[in-house]
Amino acid sequence: MKTTFAFAAVAAFVAVSVPAHADNMVFSSWGGTTQDAQKAAWASPFTEKTGITVVQDGPTDYGKLKAMVEAGQVTWDVVDVEGDYAAQAGKNGQLEKLDFSVIDKSKLDPRFVTDYSVGSFYYSFVIGCNADAVSACPKTWADLFDTTKFPGKRTFYKWSAPGVIEAALLADGVAADKLYPLDLDRAFKKLDTIKSDIVWWSGGAQSQQLLASAEAPFGSIWNGRMTALAASGIKTETSWEQNITAADSLVVPKGSPNVEAAMKFIAMATSAEPQAALAKATGYAPINVDSAKLMDPETAKTLPDQQTASQVNADMNYWADNRDAIGEKWYAWQAK
């Protein structure tokens, strides 16, 4: 659950949240195979090295994070969030400044470093398809919006974030270098044409389930989820045509009870070897520029940072500046 979800009563989440103690810290992410991989690549070696237990929690919930900070009852120490959210939350005073005397940012892709966040991994929205369930898979965003050529349900990311609006505009013929500022009216008009055929996914695991079950045999999905789906034995097809790129970020909520441990954890998670290990496990690209040399070339060439021929970079700064306004229109459109 994300951006606009209500801030449930503070007492409610405090009661169910995982407590943090001096010898442990809490990491919240999106669940499913990605968080499993983060646990294996980051948390387990971190615990082995420091003796600090990393309690897993999630899924990440922006309403919950904000309510924690405002109530002074923060139980998450490091949170995996979307890049545009990180930029906005830092500006709004909801995050701790990162300690770059602990975190070595000299090897991190500078596109994904701010005072309050560093990249977690680098991903693309791609067109994914369960090839066992359909006679043909869509290759382009225009295909995905073509219900005559490709009848049936298709799945898209539910929340107001970079990805779907860009896909709609690209499908409607907008050039990749003319996407911003986003023409929301045009995007919603295009989305209207397939609205009754959309099944929304709210988390990565759900997107995999929708494709695997063929409830929605194709759609817009994070590339790493397609990697995991293919590894499960399902015959899949992934189209990288105009793949829309973005990055997750690691942040520390303001008032984290274990800030020192959180900084050490982020330092570990963004170092070369753990980033390479996560990339191998998930299909998402590493943020550390030294990680690629630690990976076999066959794996490295399948990652988003190698799919640049027709890549479209989502503008995180634009989204950070306009996130609330876009979200208001996005959810009003969904509710119609």
pLDDT average, residue stretch 244-261: 96
Say if 311 falls within a structural domain: no
Q: Residue 232 and residue 214: Cα distance in Å, rounded?
A: 15
Residue-wise pLDDT tens digits, 180-216: 999 999 999 999 999 999 999 998 889 999 999 999 9
Asked if residue 229 belongs to a domain, the reply is yes
Specify whether 157 is located in the same domain as 237. Answer: yes
Q: Which pLDDT band, with edges at 50, 70 and 90, does 81 fall under?
A: very high
Give the residue numbers spanning the domain of 225. Answer: 123-245
pLDDT confidence bin for 125, thresholds 50/70/90: very high
Residue 22's pLDDT band, with cuts at 50, 70 and 90, is low
**Same domain, residue pair 159 and 233:** yes
Same domain, 237 and 258: no
Residue 133, in any domain of the structure: yes
> Is residue 109 domain-shared with residue 37, that is, in the same domain?
yes
Give pTM, 2 decimals.
0.78
Torsion region of 242: left, alpha or beta (phi above 0 gives left; psi -120 to 50 gives alpha)? left
Same domain? 135 vs 238? yes
117 and 127 co-located in one domain? no
In this structure, what token pair is assigned to residue 38?
A: 């983060």
Q: Taking all residues of the chain, what is their mean pLDDT, rounded to a whole number?
A: 91
CA atoms within 13 Å, Cβ hemisphere of 317? 4
Mean pLDDT of the 138-149 span:
98
Give me the pLDDT at residue 212, please.
Answer: 97
Q: Output the pLDDT for position 11.
A: 36
Which pLDDT value is given to residue 226?
92
**Total count of domains within the chain:** 2
Please tell me the distance from the alpha carbon of residue 13 to that of residue 208, in angstroms, as a whole number: 28
- At 149-188, the pLDDT tens digits run 999 999 999 999 999 999 999 999 999 999 999 999 999 9
* pLDDT score for 16: 38
Q: Does 89 score more than 90 pLDDT?
A: yes
| C-alpha to C-alpha distance for 228 and 251, rounded to whole angstroms | 25
* Residue 93 pLDDT > 50: yes
Q: In this structure, what CATH number is given to the domain that contains residue 235? A: 3.40.190.10
